[in-house]
Structure 1
Amino acid sequence: MAAKQVLVIVGDASETIDTMYPYYRLIEAGFQPVVAAPEKRRYQMVLHEIKPGWTITKEWEGYSIEADIAFKDVNPSDYVGIFFSGGRAPEYIRYDEDLVRITKYFFAENKPIASVCHGVEIPAYADCVRGRKMATVPKCQFDLEICGGTFVNEPCVIDGNLVSGRTYHDSGHFVAPWIELLLQAAG
């Protein structure tokens, strides 16, 4: 039997640890992560950290990742769940009409969804956070709240089918509950 597929949403400047920790945890749990992006090509990820003494995020080049599929080619019904990675990519890719279509599908179908850091910008833009509680990095609190969501400053926030964390530092808190939802959905 083939592994159940889960979408991992990325673009250039997706955060490396935000992306890779859930990617490998999906494989460990018996799922097939499918990297989706604006185009089917290699994407450059980054590392983000607020260094001691800094008040803003410093960015370094991280690993790269190959997209398995372009947003336009995604049939969301082929996937058991979706993950919105963080980094700067969501700020740019959220305007992609096919990504909006995909995002709306997962929320409408109540499938397992996870988001970390700036990943919130995608469901917020797609008008899917209204009335939902989510964790995100504090600098994205405005994006969440202006779109009708409620910011919760915790390492793991579970609101029905939606699991979220603030940054990759929270991965050990929010990824396992999301995978549990995926396991339940996969039957």
Structure 2
Amino acid sequence: MSKKILILAGDFVEDYELMVPFQALLMVGYQVDAVCPEKESGDQVRTAIHDFEGDQTYSEKPGHNFTLNATFADINPEDYDGLVVPGGRAPEYLRLNEDVLKIVRHFHEADKPIAAICHGLQLLAAADVLKGKKTTCYPACNPEVKMAGGEYVEIPVDQAYVDGNLVSAPAWPAHPEWLAKFIGVMGGKISL
């Protein structure tokens, strides 16, 4: 039986950080359900493209519309083997939703694999699951990691960091390593 992955999305999620993991994890044989609070299967979320163009921070451009393939209200986190939390602007407001935080806490408490990238760590900080964890994120989010009791690890933007069941990365340039390490924590193997 295929392992099941849950992706927590929302409007203005980072385009690459939603679409690439969704497609790549499907490609390796996982069942992947992408959900958003207050939306159903077939509804769409708007994405944003963040790029690194030499400015003091990333630039933001309109992305694509992504069609969700599962209904948030119908999912049961116990049915899933792993969680993916993409970045972008969605985590800043998704963290205000107690049902989203309960889902994140379930994966943490059950010691299931969690892959979080960029601003996705804002959701983990709000769910209070970073105490004692070493993790990375988009550098501007590192104060939130520290305030949540985690230890921020500075690594190159194209690399990923693993602490137990948590696989984190600074931003989408890390996709090859981040996804390979997540699949490894899930019990699979990908050669880089």
**Residue matched to 1:171:** 175
Percent identity (aligned): 32
CA offset digits 1:29-74 (Å, max 9, x no partner): 210110011122210011001322x223211111111223344332
Q: TM-score, normalised by structure 2?
A: 0.90
Is 1:62 the counterpart of 2:63? The answer is yes
Residue 173 of structure 2 aligns with an amino acid whose one-letter code is H
Counterpart of 1:123, as a letter, is L
Tell me how far 1:82 sits from its aligned partner: 0.3
Deviations 1:15-39 (A, max 9, x none): 1111122112211221011001112
Alignment gaps of 5+ in structure 2: none
**Matched residue count:** 182
Separation in 1, partners of 2:77, 2:135: 22
Q: Which residue in the other structure is 1:33 paired with?
A: 32
Give the equivalent residue in structure 2 for 1:158: 162
- Deviating beyond 6 angstroms after TM superposition, the runs of 4 or more aligned structure 1 residues are none
Whole-angstrom distance in 1 between the partners of 2:74 and 2:131: 27
Corresponding residue for residue 77 of structure 1: 78
Identify the residue that residue 51 of structure 2 maps to in structure 1: 49
| Residue 93 of structure 1: aligned partner | 94
Superposed, 1:6-21 pairs within 5 Å as 6-21=5-20
RMSD: 1.3
The aligned residue for residue 142 of structure 1 is 143
**Matched residue type, 1:43:** V
1:2-21 superposed Cα distances (whole Å, 9 cap, x missing partner): x3220011101111111122
Which amino acid in the other structure matches residue 150 of structure 1? Answer: E
2:164 aligned partner, one-letter code: G
Contact 1:9 1:36 in 2 (8 A): yes
Q: TM-score, with normalisation over the residues of structure 1?
A: 0.92
- For residue 183 of structure 1, give the secondary structure of its aligned residue in structure 2: coil
- Please tell me whether the aligned partners of residues 72 and 98 of structure 1 are also in contact (alpha carbons under 8 angstroms): no
Letter in 2 for 1:168: W
Letter paired with 2:27 = E
**Contact map agreement 1:29 1:179 (CA 8 A) in 2:** no
Identify the residue that residue 187 of structure 2 maps to in structure 1.
183
Per the alignment, residue 132 of structure 1 pairs with: 133
Distance 2:146 2:71 in 1: 29
Question: SS at 2:187's partner residue?
Answer: helix
